[in-house]
Amino acid sequence: MLNLGILISGRGSNMEAILKAIKRKKIPINVAVVISNKSDARGLGIAQKFGIKTEVVESKGFKGTRLDYDKMLISVLEKYKVTPKNGLVCLAGFMRIISPEFVRKYKHRILNMHPALLPSFPGLDAQKQAVEYGAKYSGCTVHFVDEGVDTGPVIIQSVVKVKDDDTSETLAKRILVQEHKIYPEAVRLIAEGRVKIVGRRTKIN
């Protein structure tokens, strides 16, 4: 069974959806730890209510390099046996770019949720980008993390129609409902060993 580490920065609603699904649907994965880069992240309390161990690796005021920070993250993941060999790392609203070294060490072991249909609207404020662009459809994407920003192989996407009167907030709210469905589903598929990566594409058995 894989050991799961979830990285958060704030609200933690995707993390909560994953924890609920693991519990209710008996997904075969062991939730080892939830790590936040902010000590006041609301998600920490939620994780604790689920009985999950939590850790804070504070990024505010950290003076070292991105790699120095990521080394601290990796040592916490290793402490909880979330290793490249038997671990899975979910970025769930973790608002930091991770270093190429971290990505390479955990190759095809890190997932991210992005609130747009990649490759459209990567980076920050994806919902705002979609509204400002005038897109008629947006959505969300669960993908493997590679060394680029929101560029790794796609696992699942969900489409959300953009309404004429949408603001970034109203659109974000409807996209979030879909995020909470597809992120746990992607974790389940990986936990069950059903996702194969072939070049840029993933194949689901």
Does residue 115 interact with ligand GAR by CB under 6 A? yes
Binding mask 142-181 for ligand GAR (x = CB under 6 A): ----------------------------------x--x--
| Shortest reach from residue 125's CB to ligand GAR, in Å | 8
For ligand GAR, the closer CB: 87 or 115: 115
Of 141, 109, 98, the C-alpha closest to 29 is 109
Site for ligand GAR in 86-105 (CB under 6 A): 92-93
With a CB cutoff of 8 Å and minimum separation 6, the contacts of 182 are 113, 140, 142, 156, 157, 158
Helix (H, G, I), strand (E, B) or coil at 88: strand
Query: Residues 2, 3, 6, 14: which binds ligand GAR (CB under 6 A)?
Result: 14
HEC sequence for 83-142: CCCCEEEEECCCCCCCCHHHHHHCCCCEEEEECCCCCCCCCCCHHHHHHHHCCCEEEEEE
Q: What is the radius of gyration, based on Cα positions, of the chain?
A: 16
The Cα–Cα gap between 97 and 39 comes to 18
| Shortest reach from residue 85's CB to ligand GAR, in Å | 26
Of 23, 72, 78, the C-alpha closest to 46 is 23
Give the binding range for ligand GAR (CB under 6 A) out of 9-17, 63-71, 151-159, 162-170.
Answer: 9-17
For ligand GAR, the closer CB: 56 or 81: 56
- In the chain, the amino acid numbered 184 is P
Asked about 114 being catalytic, the answer comes back as yes
Does residue 139 interact with ligand GAR by CB under 6 A? no
Does residue 37 interact with ligand GAR by CB under 6 A? no
Report the catalytic residues. Answer: 114
Residues that bind ligand GAR (CB under 6 A): 8, 10-14, 92-93, 113-115, 126, 176, 179
